[in-house]
Structure 1
Amino acid sequence: MHNDGGKPAFIYTYACSEDELSLCRMELRCLFGREMPPSIFESDIEVDVSRSPFIKERIDVMYGGDSLPEIYTQTEQVEVKGKTFKVIFVKTNDLSPENKIEYDERRVIEREIGMRIEGEADVNHPQLVYGIVTLGGRWYFGNYQKNKATWFRQMKKPRSYSIALSTRVARAAVNIAVPNPAGIRAIDPCCGIGTVMVEALSMGINIVGRDINPFIAAGARTNIAHFGFTSEVTLGDIADITEHYDVAIVDMPYNLYSRITPGEQFSILVNARRIADKVVIVAIEPMDEMIIEAGFTITDRCIAKKGLFSRHLMLCQ
């Protein structure tokens, strides 16, 4: 797990609401390959901190030590090469309540390190940001990355309708489907107004879309163009797709709002199985029997709740 003498490469912090806990845990499992402890974890896997709606921060670990004085000594080696800098004490940690470090003490620790780094500190507009964090009884120091939550702007789409996935669920679904975007070809064969596509495109993922409804497909094209992205959205049935993809994300059309029969739902699943190696299915109910009958194995799953409405996400291979 660790490189050079027991030091993790990265430390991440994350947060989610109770309703999103199941979704958040599944996203982290897909991105990092294991179940994560609450709030803070270490990993040697590098994930862009702004990809996830749940990850808050990442420290790219430079130094590790059993005590703060050990870290203080090591930070004397930091070279800022004429750039201004700032040190942030990362508040999320696994300390017990009685060992919590209060505000004043956090400021003292930041100052102690700041004084040892040769260069000009700038708390408002630093060119370099460093973080200090404690985890598992040890202290770590390194470059600090904060989630920029760029996807917030994608919540306001020119075209929308009430049953579309929320931006956060769509973004997590993309991360579940495509943890490593390099070289992956993805498709959203029932793309609706393009919520999933916009999130995937904003992460640089190669994705195309399709929808059977010309009005809705046009809405998807409008939304994609509105955010400055380019991708193909074709019109037609999933059954007519002849190309093969690494992964498909299928937000199942709902009986609640669209006149879709179980036979049509089954056809979508069978065709998804045909056109992609891996499929993430999003549905308003668990569809295990139908999914298995279509030839899939469900390898992971979660439920994303929003008020009384639930979405089931199933990773199928």
Structure 2
Amino acid sequence: MTSPEFIYTYVRHGDEYDLCQLEMRSFFGFDSKSNVLLGDVEINPSRSPFMKERLEVLYDANSWESLVQQVGQLDVSGTTFKVVCMNTMDLDGTKKIEHANRRKIEREIGLQINGEPDLFHPETVYGFLVLDEHWYFGKYVESESVWYRHQNKPHSYSTALSTRVARAVANIAVPNPDGLKVIDPCCGIGNVLVEALSMGIDIIGRDINPLVIEPAKENIAYFGLSGDVEHGAIAEVSGTYDVAIIDMPYNIFSEATPEDQLDILRQARRIADRVIVVTIDTIDHMIEEVGFTISDRCEAKKGLFVRQVLVCE
């Protein structure tokens, strides 16, 4: 079998399954039905609200003994390291390894490496896991829950996208931000802006409601980020962008009529070739009417409340 370059593990709740799948497809071009994904695309696991960790594969083997032999070739003398086992939960059809056994195996494999072990402040962290009786070893990166810190912001409202959903939507819109210009023309208090800016996405915000402009700016600045937020309708946007992210207005302060929704989509078609639409209404016919094709989609659920996330090109 061909060894993957990277292995990612995932943690997602039942309501998040569909959204996680769409994020996977945006990053990798395919999805995984299980909580582990093998691929050749390098993604910082902290970008995703669903990724738990990433392994950059250095060695793989059909047996533990063969893996140990390969790891014995690793010389990191002059640096410190630690080794962690990634089988802390069931991974696809492979049962988790219990705590005591994980520690034992970590020690055994660590003894094979020529270097200085440091359990608390290592310069390099290595990881290993077993999947379907096949062993993998490599450089390990654990995800940081950046989105979780963003829940604590100066301004919020209950109908806004959660930070987890906002982060996933930003990833679906811009899986690779290099050289792309992005706009959120219905940005509200800026949940998508905060997530996108924290991942290095070149994005500006805009909203027709003057009451949300300063709160959005304050939310961005609160996390030490920098981004422009302008007041005005999407019809007033004169530039063009690679991607637009539109969370259709629907709350009591900014509810959009069907005519308003259609006009927003027309304007989005004018300023961007690719648009990610978040909507509580079924608006497929409107999207087709303005000249977009829905290339992918999912449902983002929270209990009985369902949003559709549409990838329009």
Normalised TM-score (structure 2): 0.95
Number of the residue aligned with 2:48: 52
Displacement, 1:256?
5.0
Among 239, 245, 250, the alignment partner of 1:243 is 239
Q: Tell me if the contact between 2:248 and 2:256 (Cα under 8 Å) persists in the aligned partners.
A: no
Number of the residue aligned with 2:249: 253
Q: 1:107 to 1:255 in 2, by over 3 A?
A: closer
Number of the residue aligned with 1:106: 102
Query: Moved runs in structure 1, 4+ residues, more than 6 A?
Result: none
Structure 2 residue matching 1:63: 3-state secondary structure: strand
Displacement, 1:255?
5.8
Among 8, 11, 25, the alignment partner of 1:29 is 25
Q: Tell me if the contact between 1:94 and 1:134 (Cα under 8 Å) persists in the aligned partners.
A: no
Instruction: Name structure 2 gaps, 5 residues minimum.
Output: none
The answer to whether the aligner puts 1:161 opposite 2:168 as a matched pair is: no
| Identical-residue share of aligned pairs (%) | 53
Displacement, 1:119?
2.2
Among 31, 36, 41, the alignment partner of 2:37 is 41
Letter in 2 for 1:151: W
**Superposed CA RMSD:** 1.5
The answer to whether the aligner puts 1:130 opposite 2:117 as a matched pair is: no
CA displacement 1:11-32 (0-9 Å, x = unmatched): 1101100010010011001111
Q: Distance in 2 between matches of 1:86 and 1:259?
A: 53
Number of the residue aligned with 2:61: 65
Number of the residue aligned with 1:224: 220
Displacement, 1:204?
0.4
CA displacement 1:229-270 (0-9 Å, x = unmatched): 111111111011110000000000016553422111110011
Q: Tell me if the contact between 1:255 and 1:261 (Cα under 8 Å) persists in the aligned partners.
A: no
Structure 1 residue matching 2:270: 3-state secondary structure: helix
Q: Distance in 2 between matches of 1:83 and 1:232?
A: 43
Q: Tell me if the contact between 1:239 and 1:271 (Cα under 8 Å) persists in the aligned partners.
A: yes
Q: 1:78 to 1:11 in 2, by over 3 A?
A: same
Number of the residue aligned with 1:304: 300
Displacement, 1:43?
0.4
Q: 1:255 to 1:115 in 2, by over 3 A?
A: closer
The answer to whether the aligner puts 1:273 opposite 2:269 as a matched pair is: yes
Instruction: Name structure 1 gaps, 5 residues minimum.
Output: none
Letter in 2 for 1:224: I
Q: Distance in 1 between matches of 2:157 and 2:92?
A: 41
Q: Tell me if the contact between 1:84 and 1:119 (Cα under 8 Å) persists in the aligned partners.
A: yes
Number of the residue aligned with 1:83: 79
Q: Distance in 1 between matches of 2:146 and 2:166?
A: 14
Q: Distance in 2 between matches of 1:94 and 1:300?
A: 25
Q: Tell me if the contact between 1:224 and 1:230 (Cα under 8 Å) persists in the aligned partners.
A: yes
Letter in 1 for 2:305: F
The answer to whether the aligner puts 1:117 opposite 2:113 as a matched pair is: yes
The answer to whether the aligner puts 1:152 opposite 2:134 as a matched pair is: no
